[in-house]
Amino acid sequence: MTIKRTLVANRGEIAVRIIRAAHALGIEAVQVVSAADRDSEAARMADQVVVIGPAPSKQSYLNAGLIVHAAKQTGCDALHPGYGFLSERAELANLCAENGITFVGPAAETIGALGDKLRSRAIAAGAGVPLVPGTDQIASVTAAHHAAEKLGYPVLMKASAGGGGRGMFVARNADAITASFDAASTEAQEAFGDGTLYMETYVENARHVEVQAVGDGKGRVVHFGERDCSVQRRYQKVIEEAPCALMPAKLRAELHEAAVKLLSSMKYLNAGTVEFLYDVNRQAIYFIEVNTRIQVEHPVSEQVTGFDLVQTQFRIAAGEAALPRQDQIKLNRHAIECRINAEDAAKNFMPSPGRITRWAPPRGAGIRVDSHCRDGYLVPPYYDSMIAKLIVTADSRPEAVERLKVALAHFEIEGLTTNIPLLRYIAAQENFAANRFHTRWLEQDVLPSFQQDHA
């Protein structure tokens, strides 16, 4: 392993995940923290901790200069960006390259090219990958009206510079566009520094299906199967599964092939995920975007393939021949992940930071909990509310759903409000067990009755 010391440029559960993988490979870990994370789990695990700034992300985890300065001064030869924060900003990858630090991820140019959602659509089209019918950038409400007439309502307007649901809205008629266009553009401007919007056909009864892939930077790309991430709220994933049990084998094969073809055409380096919309009614798949980073939900792919994706990331970054052959990757069993958030689902998902007075995650066969939390830990208010990921694995989807119900029943967290009651409610739904839902199901069908029951 030629990497000696990595900087961990993230926080929370993914920082813990990165340090675990690094240590397993004999790589030292230097953890940068904000003042609020001085006593975090990652800080405790790391070989060295450096406090870079005060709590606000802009002055700490979003400041590439501070992070790379810390990496240089502590003798790091690599840097892992995790997900979110700067992981998909070419700026960080470039700064690493300029300073002789190996960025554990794709090349900066790839991040730049695929980070622009409009450009990535053009790249996908060029690689022969089917797209959601859509437009180029839309500069005004009037232009949006024209485009929507052509595409046909309902339409989805999205930010071209970033994801996570920000700057996104559905419009079923011209008035809806007029009502939301400016606010969405402003939201995108604030989240990504670019208010550009574009438009796509809105697919009813859609599933969000994505393919986990890794490339060697020379044109060879393998996939680790797909994930179904259709239980969402405000375009944020809540539950993710591997594989997509609903999709027929032939379409799954097309899906994998499309993802590999796209990334291979770019000589993609390291881990990435190609996201698609699965139009269940039309049995068609459409490219949405590429995420040029390790994702929150990577554990479900690890569980069904047996590969450690974060270790693979480090090994690829170190120049090792770490890419297995496609036939060496076998998909086995079914895994389901729930994101555990410190929020009150019954009170409009109000964040609930605070001190955990009891932390008792479930344990047992087929249960994995990825978290940075512990008894007595103070969940700070400055960052996103995810405090753990609960991943269950079983031989089939029905068995995984049963295992999930048991695991959720035994997950005890006191001191904060979490979304566990909502997750238990979802897991108990007949439609969830029957694998009968779509990307709007949670918000349209489940939440209203949940909130009524818990008012």
- The residues assigned a catalytic role are 293
Please say which residue, 49 or 86, places its beta carbon nearer to other proteins: 49
Distance from C-alpha of 385 to C-alpha of 371, rounded to nearest angstrom: 12
Q: Is 44 in the site for other proteins (CB under 8 A)?
A: yes
Please say which residue, 95 or 277, places its beta carbon nearer to other proteins: 95
* SS3 annotation, the chain: CCCCEEEECCCHHHHHHHHHHHHHCCCEEEEEEEHHHCCCHHHHHCCEEEEEECCCHHHCCCCHHHHHHHHHHCCCCEEECCCCCCCCCHHHHHHHHHCCCEECCCCHHHHHHHHCHHHHHHHHHHCCCCECCEEEEECCHHHHHHHHHHHCCCEEEEECCCCCCCCCEEECCHHHHHHHHHHHHHHHHHHHCCCCEEEEECCCCEEEEEEEEEEECCCCEEEEEEEEEEEEECCEEEEEEECCCCCCHHHHHHHHHHHHHHHHHCCCEEEEEEEEEEECCCCEEEEEEEECCCCCCHHHHHHHHCCCHHHHHHHHHCCCCCCCCHHHCCCCCEEEEEEEECEEHHHCCEECCEECCEEECCCCCCEEEEECCCCCCEECCCCCCEEEEEEEEECCHHHHHHHHHHHHHCCEEECCCCCHHHHHHHHCCHHHHCCCCCCCHHHHHHHHHHHHHCC
Quote the least distance from Cβ 20 to other proteins, whole Å.
Answer: 16
Please say which residue, 47 or 254, places its beta carbon nearer to other proteins: 47
Q: Which of 8, 27, 70, 388 binds other proteins (CB under 8 A)?
A: 70
Quote the least distance from Cβ 406 to other proteins, whole Å.
Answer: 32
Please say which residue, 100 or 128, places its beta carbon nearer to other proteins: 100
Please say which residue, 48 or 451, places its beta carbon nearer to other proteins: 48
Q: Is the peptide bond before 362 cis (omega within 30 degrees of 0)?
A: no
Please say which residue, 44 or 282, places its beta carbon nearer to other proteins: 44
Residue span binding other proteins (CB under 8 A) among the ranges 71-79, 173-181, 203-211, 250-258 = 71-79
Q: Is 53 in the site for other proteins (CB under 8 A)?
A: yes
Residue span binding other proteins (CB under 8 A) among the ranges 60-68, 119-127, 330-338, 392-400 = 60-68
Quote the least distance from Cβ 73 to other proteins, whole Å.
Answer: 4
Count of residues of this chain found to bind other proteins when the rule CB under 8 A is applied: 29
Residue span binding other proteins (CB under 8 A) among the ranges 58-66, 150-158, 244-252, 318-326 = 58-66
Q: Is 68 in the site for other proteins (CB under 8 A)?
A: yes
Q: Which of 20, 23, 47, 56 binds other proteins (CB under 8 A)?
A: 47
β-sheet bridge partners, residue 138: 197
Q: Which of 15, 29, 46, 50 binds other proteins (CB under 8 A)?
A: 50
CA distances from 108 to 74, 81, 143 (A): 23, 13, 33
Residue span binding other proteins (CB under 8 A) among the ranges 56-64, 237-245, 387-395, 406-414 = 56-64
Q: Which of 74, 189, 205, 311 binds other proteins (CB under 8 A)?
A: 74
Quote the least distance from Cβ 98 to other proteins, whole Å.
Answer: 9
Quote the least distance from Cβ 420 to other proteins, whole Å.
Answer: 28
Scan residues 80-109 and list those touching other proteins (CB under 8 A).
95
Scan residues 24-43 and list those touching other proteins (CB under 8 A).
28, 32, 34-35, 39
Quote the least distance from Cβ 67 to other proteins, whole Å.
Answer: 9
Quote the least distance from Cβ 389 to other proteins, whole Å.
Answer: 24
Residues at the contact surface with other proteins, assessed by CB under 8 A: 4-5, 28, 32, 34-35, 39, 44, 47-54, 59-60, 63, 65-66, 68-70, 72-75, 95
